[in-house]
Amino acid sequence: MSRWSKRREGLRAILEGDECVHPASVHDPVSVRIAENLGFEMGMYAGSVASLTVLGAPDLIVLTLTEFASQAHRISRAAELPVLADADHGYGNALNVMRTVEELEAAGIAGLTIEDTALPQNFGSGGKPALISLEEGVGKVKAALAARSDANLVIAGRTSAAAITGIDDAIARAKAYEGAGADAIFMLGLKTRADLETVSTELSRPLIIAATGPDFEDRSWLAKQGVRICLQGHQPFAAATQAIHATLKALREGTPPAEIGNLAPKELKDAATRAGDYAERIKRYLE
């Protein structure tokens, strides 16, 4: 059994259950520990947040697989929380997808999503999103499944077709990814309850969506539509950025350090850094 199997079993239990959960957006060891301490069922490690964390760059697929997987490993070894990774397009063609699966599996990720968006942005596209062919998308899903060595690793097929080519194409692609063996379908671009109801009646695998607003606030209703994971965005990183900016700005403008507010108390820092564990190790091995 893989050292990571328990958390992968945990993610599968969520997908096979009858409830919808909101994952914690995590980007580093401290954030995943805080999420675990707060009782979140799982975490989500997104490509966009990874690019911000590792490079300080926008989500333009300039992050490399090595950088993404290295940060994923730091997150995985910091806590036992199951983490689903947004592996974007798998960093290339179907062969690159296989390498992506191998690296993220070794990094301890519980599951990953592979999308059918044409990435990175093509020359002359003007920033307008496009999709790869259905056949290539199916090939990527099949390659991802073939590359995993731990059968518990979750592979989700992801499509943004609903926002680019329409619901009918989104359903056709999702069905094809189900047929290829994907464990779940990650559907982006759904705007209304009617959109989700249309999709859910056509698909059989657990659904992952990224949706906010009044139409998607009722988790019991989402669960009845087959949604098992509903992303709410990546507010923690944005909040952390704002806090760092406000603190540095205050210091730069002359506010005495003792007067800086909204700082994490010692108890929170100790919990996030596992200070008690380190104190015990010092006592056991260094005294």
Domain 5-236 has CATH 3.20.20.60: yes
172-185 mean pLDDT: 98
Q: Please say whether the beta carbons of 47 and 119 come within 8 A.
A: no
For the chain, which residues make up each domain, given as ranges?
5-236, 240-285
pLDDT at position 194, please? 96
pLDDT at position 3, please? 86
150-170 mean pLDDT: 97
Question: Is the preceding peptide bond at 120 cis, omega within 30 degrees of 0?
Answer: yes
pLDDT at position 1, please? 64
pLDDT at position 109, please? 98
Bridge partner residues of 230 (DSSP): 209
pLDDT at position 267, please? 98
Residue 262: is its pLDDT beyond 80? yes
Residue 2: is its pLDDT beyond 80? no
Cα 151–chain centre separation? 19
pLDDT at position 212, please? 85
The pTM score is 0.97
Sign of CA dihedral 40, 178, 233, 101: positive
Q: Single out the residue of 46, 134, 39, 135 nearest to residue 83, CA to CA.
A: 46
